[in-house]
Structure formats: structure tokens, C-alpha cells
Amino acid sequence: MEAYKAVIIPFKPPVELLRDFRDMVNYCIQAGLRHGATSKFKLTRLVYRELTAKYPWHSWYALSAIEVACAILKNYRKSLRRGLSPRVPRARRLIAKIGNQALKVEEGRVRVPLRPRKWLYIPLHRRASEFVEAGCRLRSATLTPNAACLAFSKQVDGIEPRSWAAVDVNEDNVTLATSNGEVEVYELSRLKRAGYGYFARRKAIQRRYHGDRRVLKKALSKLSKNYRSLVSSELHKASAAIIKLCKERGYGLIVEDLRGLRGSVNAKVKRLNPYSGKIQPTSTRSKELKRRLNNWWFRRLLNQLEYKAKWEGMSIEAVDPKGSSSTCPMCRSKLKLYLNGRVECSSCGYHGDRHVTACLNLLKASDVTPRFGVERPLDVAVNPALTTLMGVRASWASIRGEVNWEANRTTGRCANYT
């Protein structure tokens, strides 16, 4: 199995290269739409000679521009098949990408070709040098106005998990429960508060500088950069702690498959507009709910868990989370929700925290039968709590209790269940 990671190095490439690369991508997109090119090889036959004749850069940039344009066209056609009404695609950001065959690492630097027999050198920092010294392959380099992103890969051997851990992603915390009865809660309410503060400050800046577009753009750019840095840092700490725990104890990861969540949140239906008297698409959700869920960082956290787990050779699987926090893990009845996230089943008497309940249901919902069935291999340790009614009671008896929601200031996570 091949795993990938990327590092970002502060670097300022030539702006002319980035602008020309963007123009090459847009030219390829227009040619692909005009001739109906659906493959990279057909698009290469159409535009390669024209790109290399028009632009003075190394021919590898033309091939990379064709590759980027094919990816954009693929997403555009996918949106059309779904019945959406996407705009005609166009590259807007200043980037330049080049593949591994044109790159070379020498003396602590990455040599990137600009023109024939002319190169650009990117100095490697300590983190990037560690990947090179570990024998990782340099796969590609993506240049932006202020940084260079280097992608590395390595071959890893999959590790057979001794047990499993389920992760429930929420707006203000991440809950982890294992098939051995362990529970960890990673507190992330700071990001939720920061999201509300970011929205309020953004509105205030827009009101204050609405007459000066230059100052408004600069102020909003600084605000969004600080917010993105905070989110990236906190999610990295949480995902790294989860992967470290699972690696030390030999756990495989089970996560929620949340694809399509934002699509359902932003869904529209045709209704009568009482003001204009017209039938037009209207959102089914409130503005506050859409802002809250569209600002949620679940996809970024799940992506970090996925690539970090693959880098360590760990098993990771996604399951459907529908009803996981509202279904009793013992009798499958509907749970009643109380204050502070407590749930209780009126049929069998089960009670506990809704996030831990979601993790237990995720562990039970897996479609890999050797994990929890009686026919599992002897070398896979599984707690009987996930297979029998009495086992669920015994497992919950070992982890039930109140959560200490006072976050540990040093680790940023809450205490275990007691």
C-alpha cells in the first residue's frame, strides 16, 4: 500500500511562471470543452504542441497543465450528470505544478526546472529533510505565490489490528471509544466559539470598510488567515493524538461516512415565494443552521485521520452513521435525549452519553464480520460487549459515568470516563 504526505515550504517562485501556468490550464479547459475531450491523451494530442510553442517554460509544465485541466473537466462533467447547473470552469488561482520525473533532490535542495537548462532551487527545511532521509519518494511539487508544497510517498505494510476504535466527530468535540471499553474525549469547543467570533468580526469589518475595497480585502484576508491557522492547528493536534493512541495499542479506526452532508444541508426545493408570487428554488434549512454546518470542519478532520492512518499502515474504514446517536446499542430501540447529551432507552434501561453511544453503534455497524462475530480469528482481540446483550451491559458498566468536560490545558482533551 502506498501512503502520501505533503510538506509546505515558504518560498516565492517567479510570478510569470504562475500566471502562464494558469493561462495554460484555461486554454486546455476551453479546448477540452470545444472538442469534447474526455481523456488526458486526447487533450494532450490537441494542445501539447501549441502550449510548448507559445510558452517558454519547460515542457513538463504543459503536461502538468493538461493533467490539472482534465481533473477540472472531470468534476464539471460529474456536476452535470448530477443535474446541477455549474458555471463553465476556469482556473483562477496562481499555481504551478510539476511531476516527480522533472524533480531532483541534491544537497538539501529540490531542483525544479524552469526552462531548458535553467533551474529553480527550493531549500528543504528539517521536516522535509526527514522525509528524504527516510527514503520517501518525492512525487510532485506545487508552487504558489508564497509557498512550495512537496508531496512524498512511501510503501507501507498493512498492520492487522488487534482491536478497533470508533470515532464520533461532533461540532465541539471528538469522541473515541474502543472495543475494549476505553473512551477518550478530545475537546474542540474552542473552534466552535472561534467560528461564531469569526462570523461576527467579519460582519463588523464589512460594515466598517464597505467604502474602501482595498482595505476591506486586506482586513478580511488577515482575519480568514488567522482563523484557518487556528482550525488547522487544533485539528492536527486532535488527529495526531488519536493516531498515536491507536498505533500504540494496535487499534484499527472506524470513522463516519459523512459524504453528502453539506449537500443535504444546502438542498433547495421549488416553492411559492410569497413576496414575488413566483415558484422558485427555496432552501429547506434556516440561514443559521446552514452557516453553522457549512463552517463545520468535519471533512478536514476525517481527511487528516485517513492519510495519517494510512501513513502508519493502520486499517481505517468508514461506515454509515445514520441513527448512530439515537439508536440503542442493546435493543436497537429509539433513544430519548436528555440535557447535557445524555440518552436513555425506555425498553431495556440503557443510558449513557450520546457520543459514546454513537461510537458503540459504529463499532457494531461495521460490515466486516470477523471483527465482531463468533467466527473471528483467534489473533483478533474483541470485547464481547459488542456482540451480546449482556456484553453491552458489561461494557457500559465499565465506561459509564459523567464526563469531566473541563479540558486539560496541556493536552487539550478531557479526562477518561470513570
Q: Decide: helix, strand or coil at residue 407.
A: coil
Per cent of the chain over pLDDT 70 is: 87
Assigned domain for 414 exists: no
- Give yes or no: residues 139 and 175 share one domain: no
Assigned domain for 341 exists: yes
CA distance 226 to 85: 33
- Give yes or no: residues 27 and 151 share one domain: yes
CA-based nearest residue to 35, from 51, 48, 22, 46: 46
CA distance 99 to 95: 14
- Give yes or no: residues 144 and 169 share one domain: no
List the beta bridge partners of residue 281: 270
DSSP state string for 328-386: -TTT-PBPEE-GGGEEE-TTT--EEEHHHHHHHHHHHT-S-HHHHSTT--TTS---GGG
Other CB atoms within 10 A of residue 251 CB: 26
Assigned domain for 407 exists: no
pLDDT, tens digit, 9 for 90 and up, residues 152-195:
999 998 888 988 999 999 999 999 999 888 899 999 999 999 99
Contacts of 1 by beta carbon, 8 Å cutoff, 6+ apart: 155, 156, 157, 158, 310, 313
In terms of residue numbers, what domain contains 10?
2-155
Is residue 14 pLDDT above 50, yes or no? yes
- Give yes or no: residues 148 and 170 share one domain: no
The x, y and z cell numbers of residue 245, run together, are 493512541
CA distance 91 to 211: 29
Final residue before a domain boundary, out of 125, 155, 185? 155
Final residue before a domain boundary, out of 126, 155, 184? 155
Q: Are 29 and 91 in contact (CB under 8 A)?
A: yes
Start-to-end CA distance of the chain, whole Å, equals: 39
Average pLDDT over residues 284-313: 91
41 or 364: which leads in pLDDT: 41
Could you tell me the strand order of the sheet in which 342-344 lies? 336-337, 342-344, 351-353
- Give yes or no: residues 6 and 73 share one domain: yes
The pLDDT value recorded for residue 38 is 86
The pLDDT value recorded for residue 284 is 86
Ranges 230-234, 264-268, 282-286, most confident: 230-234
Domains in the chain, number: 2
Confidence of residue 98 (pLDDT cuts 50, 70, 90): very high
pLDDT, tens digit, 9 for 90 and up, residues 353-395:
999 999 999 988 754 433 333 333 333 333 333 333 333 444 4
- Give yes or no: residues 189 and 278 share one domain: yes
Average pLDDT over residues 7-21: 95
The x, y and z cell numbers of residue 233, run together, are 492547528
- Give yes or no: residues 322 and 177 share one domain: yes
Assigned domain for 250 exists: yes
The pLDDT value recorded for residue 282 is 85
Is residue 402 pLDDT above 70, yes or no? no
Average pLDDT over residues 240-258: 93
The x, y and z cell numbers of residue 221, run together, are 484576508
For residue 13, what are the CA distances in angstroms to 51, 54, 60, 77, 389?
21, 21, 16, 32, 62
Q: Angle at Cα 206 formed by Cα 202 and Cα 209, nearest 5°?
A: 130
The pLDDT value recorded for residue 366 is 59
Is residue 416 pLDDT above 80, yes or no? no
Is residue 312 pLDDT above 80, yes or no? yes
Mean pLDDT of the residues in the chain = 84
- Give yes or no: residues 186 and 283 share one domain: yes
CA distance 161 to 249: 9
Total-model pTM: 0.80
CA-based nearest residue to 335, from 353, 319, 312, 315: 353
Helices (H), 250-286: 261-265
